[in-house]
């Protein structure tokens, strides 16, 4: 991964409060206002977002610091992540304003009912599961929505309340391939072949084992700058050789992963084609002081999901 200086942007931001509409972040009026607000983002941020979308840099992610998140963050929700939190909507507004500079924010019906801005906070009933609201387990490396046909191009995570124990993990395709070249030469070739299948996440279906996709490749696109789809939990193989390749890939991803501890006002944008991400184990308290991120998904071209989407919410999303 390149040195932090090339992918961390730490600048002064203006307070957007007077521009935030008094309606839900899912309302078209709110999303449009956030788009219009893009011209008030710091110029260094506007420039870096253009460059990030153009170049899809090797870092696979961008970290914007000091993003305004509003005054008086209320208690972190702990029963579920859908209930209105009673906060002002500054963080939602800034998250969508930044996302709109990269593409179109969308929701997926099974994820927080399709909310454009989801709350990622620990929920007791899911603490040991492979879902974003877990805490007692490492959330293993994954491509966001690996099993979704219209998977997001970017995943944006804005931290409202941090926890020094909880690190977001990131493994880029560049680092993974470099590791494979050194430690398992020849294996990467197999990752270009359609020999890997995906299960649908338990958030989306009741019977996960019935949901296997047709075989797909892990790597696609330009050999000099490949796109990766990988899920350490949900990926299956079609034969013993690809089984070995997947084991080497999992080893590589775990070996090269970076740990990023998000602090309030940090906005991490993962290029979901160039990097896989996850989260380390941490201790949840369920007392209102827990870690709290807000998350948005962004696609580069919303029209490809026409017919499978109502407004900005994708409804029937799986790979064949």
Ligand X SMILES: O=C(O)CCC(=O)C(=O)O
What residue ranges bind ligand X (CB under 6 A)? 120, 132, 139, 144, 155, 157, 168, 277, 279, 293, 295
The interface partner of residue 309, options being Fe ion, ligand X, none and the CB cut-off 5 to 8 Å by kind, is none
Between 151 and 279, name the residue whose CB sits nearer to ligand X.
Answer: 279
CB burial readout 10-22, b (16+ within 10 A) else e: eeebeebeeebee
Between 157 and 188, name the residue whose CB sits nearer to Fe ion.
Answer: 157
Q: Cα 6 to chain center, whole Å?
A: 20
Q: What does residue 236 show for φ and ψ, rounded to 5 degrees?
A: -125, 165
CA distances to 60, 172, 284, 304 from 63, rounded to whole Å, are 10, 15, 25, 28
CA distances to 46, 69, 132, 176, 268 from 13, rounded to whole Å, are 12, 11, 28, 35, 16
**Nearest Cα to Cα of residue 103 among 268, 299, 295:** 299
Instruction: Report how many residues bind Fe ion under the rule CB under 5 A.
Output: 1
- Would you count residue 144 as binding Fe ion (CB under 5 A)? yes
Q: Which two tokens stand for residue 284?
A: 């949840």
What is the C-alpha separation between 258 and 33, in angstroms, rounded? Answer: 35
Q: How far is the CB of 277 from ligand X (least distance, A)?
A: 6
Q: How far is the CB of 229 from ligand X (least distance, A)?
A: 15
Q: How far is the CB of 156 from Fe ion (least distance, A)?
A: 11
**Which region, judged by CB under 5 A, interacts with Fe ion, from 103-111, 137-145, 188-196, 229-237?**
137-145
Q: How far is the CB of 155 from Fe ion (least distance, A)?
A: 6
The interface partner of residue 295, options being Fe ion, ligand X, none and the CB cut-off 5 to 8 Å by kind, is ligand X
The interface partner of residue 102, options being Fe ion, ligand X, none and the CB cut-off 5 to 8 Å by kind, is none
**Which region, judged by CB under 5 A, interacts with Fe ion, from 143-151, 169-177, 213-221, 225-233?**
143-151
Residues that bind Fe ion (CB under 5 A): 144
């Amino acid at each position: 991964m390149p040195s932090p200086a090339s992918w961390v942007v730490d600048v002064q931001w203006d307070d957007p409060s007077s521009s935030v509409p008094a309606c839900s972040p899912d309302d078209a009026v709110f999303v449009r206002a956030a788009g219009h607000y893009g011209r008030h983002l710091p110029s260094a941020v506007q420039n870096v977002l253009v460059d990030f979308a153009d170049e899809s840099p090797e870092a696979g992610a961008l970290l914007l610091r000091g993003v305004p998140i509003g005054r008086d963050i209320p208690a972190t929700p702990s029963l579920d992540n859908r209930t209105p939190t009673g906060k002002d909507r500054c963080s939602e507004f800034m998250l969508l304003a930044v996302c709109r500079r990269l593409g179109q924010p969308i929701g997926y019906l099974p994820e927080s009912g399709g909310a454009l801005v989801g709350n990622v906070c620990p929920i007791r009933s899911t603490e040991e599961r492979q879902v974003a609201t877990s805490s007692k387990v490492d959330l293993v490396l994954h491509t966001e929505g690996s099993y979704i046909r219209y998977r997001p191009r970017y995943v944006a995570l804005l931290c409202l309340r941090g926890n020094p124990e909880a690190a977001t993990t990131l493994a880029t395709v560049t680092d993974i391939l470099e590791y494979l070249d050194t430690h398992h030469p020849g294996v990467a070739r197999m990752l270009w072949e359609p020999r890997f299948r995906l299960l649908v996440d338990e958030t989306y279906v009741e019977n996960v084992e019935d949901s296997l996709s047709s075989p797909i490749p892990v790597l696609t696109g330009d050999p000099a700058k490949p796109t990766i789809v990988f899920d350490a939990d949900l990926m299956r193989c079609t034969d013993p050789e690809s089984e070995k390749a997947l084991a080497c890939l999992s080893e590589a991803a775990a070996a090269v992963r970076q740990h990023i501890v998000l602090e309030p006002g940090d906005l991490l944008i993962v290029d979901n084609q160039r990097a896989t991400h996850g989260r380390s184990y941490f201790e949840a308290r369920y007392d209102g002081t827990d870690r709290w991120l807000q998350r948005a998904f962004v696609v580069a071209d919303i029209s490809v999901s026409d017919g499978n989407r109502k407004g900005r919410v994708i409804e029937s999303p799986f790979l064949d």
